[in-house]
Chains A and B, each alone.
Chain A
Amino acid sequence: MTDTVESPVLPDTRPILSLAGLDAAEHARRLGPLPRLGVEALIQLAEHSGLTGRGGAGFPAAIKIRSVAAGRGRAVVVGNAMEGEPLSQKDAILLGSVPHLVLDGLELVSRALGASRMVLAVGPDVPSRPVEALARARGVQVKRLTGGFVAGQETALVSQIDGRPGVPRDPLVRVTVKGVGGKPTLVSNIETLAHLALVARLGGDWFRSAGHPDDPGTSLFTISGAVARPGVVEAARGSRLADVLASAGPVDPAAVLVGGYHGAWVPASALDTPLTRAALAPYGATMGAGVLYVLDTHTCPLKMASGVARYLADEVAGQCGPCINGLPRMADSLTRLANHGRDTRLPAEIDRLRRLVTGRGACAHPDGTARFVASTMATFDKHVEAHLAGYCPSTKGGRR
């Protein structure tokens, strides 16, 4: 093992959060200057590191940068801090505690792409004050945007930056080809940018030294629900779910919702599942934006899930027929089941509706909602049976 003399030493398992709270001078002292990389060098580095997008879709960072580089006209780079997922807090934590690292990432990529414009898109629930002056000083435009669950989807974000309503558009023309102002646009979650800022300094091998070979690096996870200490933690990908949750102190877990409202359940019997794409796939889950929500054994999962389905139905952008019509109907059926509507046709109807909406919208909202509902029905099949018989295993014997 050889150490490069100048490389700062960061903890393997939480490199990003280990830099929390540093002022500009200390940040620069710890990490050294931000290297200037050409676009090919950046793409190769990103490719070698194996970094995937940390915003939800998990797309390889290198491929996305490459497609923007191949576009016509000068690129625009957008840091996505919309935090549309109600259970996520990592964007707020990143902007609040490592703003210099986020801005480093934005600048690194913009320089490499020769971008004409850098934008930091900040959602309504994310405090932007800590970063505003710093951003301005580095030529980054901070855009405080409105919007709910779908406003952070790439095409919706681009629309809103351009002064149009923040709703998704037809995805046939990708924003990497035609985004902000009609220019090739890289929309990248701010956690992805923060990782890139470290990879540029420390290298792809360093990044790969944490995490799983097929899913390297660390991720930020927002832990909430039935836990003693909710909050944001950083952990290596491939860590066991139980180990990541341990710091938060889960209380009587029945299942963990992995990936947020568009995610899927991992039952408490499988808490030794490693957090990798491959290991989560059998549950239909992905890490998404790193949300981990613990459901306890005293809470009815169907009640909880019907509340989420209702929220997601209310968050429909109102453009696509199948989503406008299908999501409320699906939420209604799930709510009836949760309320002990003893109609044995309900499970089949819910199944039919979630298949019906899948793949039939301009954005991922119908598919994500359908995935969550499918996972709920499969994971809590005993609850479904019990509800159809008129009782609930979580609340039996009266109130806890």
Chain B
Amino acid sequence: MTRLHVDWTRCDGHGACAELLPELFGVDDWGFPVSRTADRDPEVPRALEERARHAEKTCPLMALRRI
């Protein structure tokens, strides 16, 4: 099962991940992603895999990784 991991040392709260994957990420008071699941690194359901790949590529700071 693929998970999405945010490298917090890189993340600048750009918000691309939350825009592309609203099912998995919301944003906090400051625009940083918040996992919508109980997991730190949310699991990617099969139906969202393509978009997860896209989100990983889209993050301008390369802070999002599929693990």
Q: Using CB atoms and an 8 Å cutoff, list the residues of chain A in contact with chain B.
A: 167-170, 172, 319-323, 325-326, 329, 356, 359-362
Contacts of A361 in B (CB 8 A): 8
Of B16-24, B27-35, B50-58, the stretch lying at the interface with chain A is B27-35
A-B contact pairs, 5 of them (CB 8 A): A322-B32, A325-B29, A356-B29, A359-B35, A360-B40
Known: A321-B13, A360-B32. A170 touches B67 (CB 8 A): no
Instruction: Assess the A172–B5 pair: CB atoms within 8 A.
Output: yes
Leading 4 A-B pairs by shortest Cβ distance: A320-B8, A321-B32, A170-B7, A319-B9
Known interface pairs A172-B7, A356-B29; 6 further A-B residue pairs with C-beta atoms within 8 A, sorted by A's residue number: A170-B7, A319-B8, A322-B8, A325-B32, A329-B29, A356-B28
Task: Please give me the residue from chain A that is nearest to B38 by CB atom.
Answer: A359
- CA of A321 to CA of B30 in the docked complex: distance in angstroms? 8
Interface residues of B in 1-16 (CB under 8 A from A): 5-13
**Other-chain residue from B5, B11, B40 in contact with A321 (beta carbon distance below 8 A):** B11
Instruction: Assess the B9–A362 pair: CB atoms within 8 A.
Output: yes
- CA of A359 to CA of B28 in the docked complex: distance in angstroms? 13
Q: How far is the CB of B13 from chain A (nearest CB, A)?
A: 5
Contacts of B6 in A (CB 8 A): 360
Known: A172-B65, A172-B67, A359-B40. A325 touches B7 (CB 8 A): no
Contacts of A320 in B (CB 8 A): 8-9, 11
Contacts of B67 in A (CB 8 A): 172
Q: How many A-B residue pairs have CB under 8 A?
A: 49
- CA of A169 to CA of B40 in the docked complex: distance in angstroms? 16
Known: A172-B65, A321-B12, A321-B13. A362 touches B32 (CB 8 A): no
Instruction: Assess the A322–B9 pair: CB atoms within 8 A.
Output: no
**Other-chain residue from B12, B29, B34 in contact with A360 (beta carbon distance below 8 A):** B34
**Other-chain residue from B5, B9, B34, B65 in contact with A169 (beta carbon distance below 8 A):** B9
Q: How far is the CB of B30 from chain A (nearest CB, A)?
A: 4
Q: How far is the CB of A226 from chain B (nearest CB, A)?
A: 37
Contacts of B29 in A (CB 8 A): 325, 329, 356
- CA of A320 to CA of B30 in the docked complex: distance in angstroms? 12
Instruction: Assess the B34–A362 pair: CB atoms within 8 A.
Output: no
Contacts of A168 in B (CB 8 A): 9
Instruction: Assess the A325–B30 pair: CB atoms within 8 A.
Output: yes
- CA of A319 to CA of B7 in the docked complex: distance in angstroms? 10
Task: Please give me the residue from chain A that is nearest to B31 by CB atom.
Answer: A321
